[in-house]
Amino acid sequence: MKRRVRIRGQVQGVGFRPFVWTLARELGLRGRVLNDAEGVLVFVGGEGVEDFVARVGGEAPPLARVDAVEVSDWDGDLQEGFEIAASGGPGAETRVVPDAATCPACLDEIRGDGRRAGYAFTNCTHCGPRFTIIRGLPYDRARTSMADFGMCNACRAEYEDPGDRRFHAQPIACPDCGPTVWFEGEGDAAGVILSGGIVAVKGLGGFHLVCDATNAGAVELLRERKRRPAKPLALMGTEEMVARFAQVSGAEWSLLREAAAPIVLLTKGEALPEGLAPGQSRLGWMLPYTPLHHLLIDAVGRPLVMTSGNLSGEPQVIGNAEARETLGGFVDGFLMHDREIVRRLDDSVERVTPQGPMVLRRARGRVPGTLPLPDGFADAPQVLAMGGQMKAAICLTKNGQALLGHHLGELDEALTWEAYQGALEDYRDLFDHTPEIVAVDLHEGYRATQAGEAMSLPVERVQHHHAHLASVMGENGWPRAGGPVAGIVLDGLGLGRDGTIWGGEVLLGDYRDFERVAHLAPAPLPGGDHASREPWRNLLVRLDQAGLGARAEALLAGYPVDVVRQAVAAGVNAPLSSSAGRLFDAMSAALGLCVERQSYEGEAAMRLEAMAERAGMVAPYPFGQDGAVIDPAPMFAVWAEGDEAPEVAAARFHEGLVAAFAASARALVETGRAEAVALSGGVMQNALLQAALMRHLGDVPVLLHHGVPANDGGLALGQALVAAARQI
């Protein structure tokens, strides 16, 4: 009995071939296993073949993800025994594995007394760098940045032994043959950090700026040097440190301990400097995920600030020379190594909500994982979706899978735009992608849109909020023929079909098309882009709309209120917008949380959410509704008449907004026009708001984001699905 067995999925670079080898030998089978362009291929024969087929998909190694096991008869020749054969040529039909945090076995070696004791590049097939070092497929050492490091005899023996956990671990290394680490500065890295200094540390996907998280002076120094006044700083600590300084649920521990090792937003525990995340109730924590991180945190003995090594707004630095030039002016030393970072990757950022995990930034450890396309997309063409202007990410579809790329940043920045163009070429080459159609946002001013339209390919233009709706539908596997869905899409700004700026919408649609059923009452964006940065402008126009001009003047004394009103009256640089994000900004300014200027995107809304969390359950503020228009003016009127604590007002705002939108969406399901409600858009990252929506929606089926960002980081997935659906 002989079979040809094809295993598809995340099956290269994870110890899958030695697993197959071990299983086949255990069952007394003959044959061979190899990597090729489509995954893992097995030719196998013997009496235990059926048992082998039954077990090969369900007992896979920890980092493997098996999508399919395809079995067919085979009549070729089989040699005696079972062997691991050479890879079967180049190609790109299989997945590249995301980088994985140091496994317990490797950590024991680092802290032991063997030949890898204290070695900062210890790894095996269950952990270590993958996507950040690979140059091409199949995944072999010669196609990684480890190609420059020849294996010593001891590493070679492990690499060639199918019974060793380092069999074909492409980054395998030891102190005798692998990369080296060194410190550039006075003394050592731990000493500089303990004395209040800042060190640039080279990690997996780029450099971090590191200081002592318990030292308020060091935190303030880092903020001054990086010119980052308030944006929350990520922290790294051991499990003991995290347990001390944060309140951690079981689900949050599970997320922290995943091989992806993301930053997880955790409720504050024992006090750390307020300067780590001013005005926030949570801090972003991650566990050490490389041997170098483990060694550094062991030496310092304190939690570390671990924030991206870059100038504000620019991409993370990845090269040694680049780091010296870019970061030299505001660090006190460099912890360097000589393994090249092929691919820049920020840390992923996630949180756990009552409805499950939520990815806020999809990056290291999560990419380049793929998502299966929903039923009905089997015949879809290869699509390249360009994403948006903010939180840019691209998406490629091929062979029933969608590959959503990593977080790149804001394309207004020249260096980020350069990184975006590099990633575009990189993903297309690495995955042998030949797009038949390109999907872009409606906004002609977006650099991503302009780039897509210049590709000499058929173009599908996808409205911003329709893409958000399709993204959450696709993540949840909503079939192409599954019927229309009511989408509550709340975000900052997106160009609408009517030429105005949308951002607070109830849509009724499927993958191909949609209608706008309800929306926030539009308000001017005085000063255009300035309104996105200066919350007081949004408060002024909303209070004026509510007939509360005198209250606006009292609250905004000292601001150029008259000048802005004149510009709005004349229609000068004051486009209308239904943005929910700008409404959050207005309420945050009303409560004095963030008035003059946001120092980072989303600051006003994040402070408002943190404030509202303190209040518990409250009655909603009233929102008006006239046909399709949801009007916040009654909410501001009741707020202005009251004298409530800021946390109560913040919570009542959340409840009122939720009640109005949930009622519109729920009615679409209850009248049979929609099959479910879908929640998307950047505002949906607000866990308090999402939980309130779930309460108000009751027993209505709801589609939520979990692994795809609700913000513009997930936009490209929705664009790709809309474009594909229109072609089928």
Which residues belong to the active site? Answer: 17, 35
What's the length of the chain?
728
Is residue 347 classed as helix, strand or coil in its secondary structure? strand
- Rounded Cα distance between 323 and 318, Å, is 7
Burial status of residue 298 (CB atoms within 10 A of its CB: 0-12, 13-18, 19 or more):
middle
Contacts of 5 (CB under 8 A, 6+ apart): 41, 42, 43, 44, 52, 53, 56, 69, 70, 71
Cα atoms in the 13 Å half-sphere on the side-chain side of 514: 27
Give the residue among 345, 294, 285 at the shortest CA–CA distance from 102.
294
Tokens of 310: 């870059």
CA 424 to chain CA centroid, Å, is 17
Distance between CA atoms of 375 and 548, rounded to whole angstroms? Answer: 52
| Cross-strand bridge partners of residue 31 | 44, 82
Nearest to 401 by CA among 12, 169, 720, 620: 720
Q: Distance between CA 716 and CA 385 in Å, rounded?
A: 5
Per DSSP, the residues of 416-471 read: HHHHHHHHHHHHHHHTT---SEEEEES-TT-HHHHHHHTSSS-EEEE-HHHHHHHH
The 10 Å CB-count burial string (b at 16+, else e) for 517-541 is bbbbbbbbbbbeeebbbbbbbbbbb
Rg (CA), the chain: 27
CB-CB contact of 67 with 369 (8 Å): no
Residue type present at position 169: A
Q: How much of the chain is in helix, strand and coil states, percent to nearest 5?
A: 35, 20, 45
For residues 691 and 355, the answer to whether their CB atoms sit within 8 Å is yes
- Going 83 to 89 to 94 to 97, the CA torsion angle's sign is positive
Contacts of 173 (CB under 8 A, 6+ apart): 119, 121, 122, 123, 146, 149, 151, 155, 179
CB 128 within 8 A of CB 171: yes
Do the beta carbons of residue 709 and residue 679 sit within 8 Å?
A: no
Please enumerate in sequence order all residues whose Cβ is within 8 A of that of 648, keeping only pairs 6 or more positions apart, or say none. Answer: 615, 618
Residue 515 CB-half CA count within 13 A:
7
- Number of Cβ atoms within 10 Å of the Cβ of 229: 14
3-class DSSP state for residue 371? strand
